[in-house]
């Protein structure tokens, strides 16, 4: 089966610019996650969607980050304006459902460098 | 607080040696514990989960609630085991994952 698709793979922007990332989950997966992985750290959940509703966005810096999942399929994550500390790999993942701890499948990530 | 600690950033062993990657967690309820692995230039993928109690690629992990640990073990390391290993905790109810910082396993010939 096709995996989680993310684009772009790499992005370099200047601080205070805006950037958007796109994710296409595995077909039929109701739950979609965005994780931020800073160099040397494990992934940290930014936001979790169940279909097109937000389940958990407690660690999303809402003053600059936003995410949406229109029609419960694809999702976009936006940063505006970007800061130097936003440099990280942004991982999208999907799973079948919200309960029962079904396996999460990860995309290859988008590496963001803010200069 | 929900937290996963992997005390070793790097574990370096020779082929054929036993491997133990340490993971300790902090969670007040009954968590689900996982090990994820990332091979070079590949995406993060599930290696094993404690509820399955299975051995994957020769790796096993036992949940020790008394010590709040979920160490990953393999009796004889292979060069292809070289990768980044992440221990993760999922609180009850929803599938979000709380990851440790990861341990890089380097298996030398």
Instruction: Give residue-wise pLDDT tens across range A80-110.
Output: 999 999 999 999 999 987 565 578 999 999 9
State the CB neighbour count (10 A cutoff) for residue B43: 17
How many A/B residue pairs have CB atoms within 8 Å?
60
| Structure-token pair, residue B40 | 């070079």
Which residues in chain A have their CB less than 8 angstroms from residue B52's CB?
none
Q: Which of A104, A108, A109 sits opposite B97 (nearest CB)?
A: A104
User: How large is the average pLDDT for residues A63-88?
Assistant: 95
Which carries the bigger pLDDT value, residue A50 or residue A18?
A18
Interchain pair B88, A44: CB under 8 A: no
Q: Which of B6, B95, B102 sits opposite A104 (nearest CB)?
A: B95
What is the nearest CA distance from B15 to chain A, expressed in angstroms? 25
The conformation of residue A49, written as its DSSP 8-state character, comes to E
Which residues in chain B have their CB less than 8 angstroms from residue A48's CB?
94-96
Where do runs of H (alpha helix) occur along A6-100?
none
- In B, minimum Cα distance to A40 occurs at B101
> pLDDT 10s per residue in chain B (109 long)?
889 999 999 999 999 999 999 999 998 888 889 999 999 999 999 999 887 778 889 999 988 989 999 999 999 999 999 999 999 998 876 678 999 999 999 999 9
Interchain pair A106, B45: CB under 8 A: yes
Q: Which of A56, A100, A106 sits opposite B96 (nearest CB)?
A: A56
Which residues in chain A have their CB less than 8 angstroms from residue B46's CB?
103-104
Distance CA B78, CA B94 (A): 35
Average pLDDT, chain A: 93
pLDDT reported for residue B93? 60
How far is CA A6 from each of CA A61, A91, B54, B64, rounded to the nearest angstrom? 21, 8, 31, 37
pLDDT reported for residue A52? 85
Q: Which of A57, A96, A101 to mutate to test the interface with B (most CBs of B within 10 A)?
A: A101
pLDDT reported for residue A10? 98
Contacts for B42-48: CB closer than 8 Å, 24+ residues apart: B43/A3, B43/A4, B43/A106, B43/A107, B43/A108, B43/A109, B44/A43, B44/A91, B44/A93, B44/A106, B44/B86, B45/A105, B45/A106, B46/A103, B46/A104, B47/B72, B47/B85
Asked whether the predicted pLDDT for residue A41 surpasses 90, the reply is: yes
Asked whether the predicted pLDDT for residue A19 surpasses 90, the reply is: yes
pLDDT reported for residue A72? 84
């Amino acid at each position: 089966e096709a995996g989680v698709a993310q684009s772009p793979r790499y992005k370099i922007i200047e601080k205070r610019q805006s950037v958007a990332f796109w994710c296409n989950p595995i077909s039929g997966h109701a739950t979609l996650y965005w994780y931020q992985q800073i160099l040397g750290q494990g992934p940290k959940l930014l936001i979790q969607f169940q279909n097109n509703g937000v389940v958990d966005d407690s660690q999303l810096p809402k003053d600059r980050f936003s995410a949406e999942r229109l029609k419960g399929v694809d999702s976009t994550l936006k940063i505006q304006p970007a800061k130097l500390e936003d440099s990280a790999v942004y991982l999208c993942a999907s799973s079948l459902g919200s309960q029962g701890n079904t396996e999460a499948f990860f995309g290859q990530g988008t590496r963001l460098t803010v200069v | 607080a929900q937290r996963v600690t992997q005390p070793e950033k790097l574990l370096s062993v020779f082929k054929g040696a036993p491997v133990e990657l340490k993971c300790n967690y902090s969670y007040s309820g009954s968590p689900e514990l996982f090990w994820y692995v990332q091979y070079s230039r590949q995406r993060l993928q599930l290696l094993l989960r404690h509820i399955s109690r299975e051995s994957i690629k020769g790796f096993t992990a036992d949940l020790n609630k008394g010590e709040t640990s979920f160490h990953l073990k393999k009796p004889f390391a292979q060069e292809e085991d070289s990768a980044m290993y992440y221990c993760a905790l999922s609180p009850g109810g929803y599938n979000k994952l709380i990851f440790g910082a990861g341990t890089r396993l380097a298996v030398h010939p």
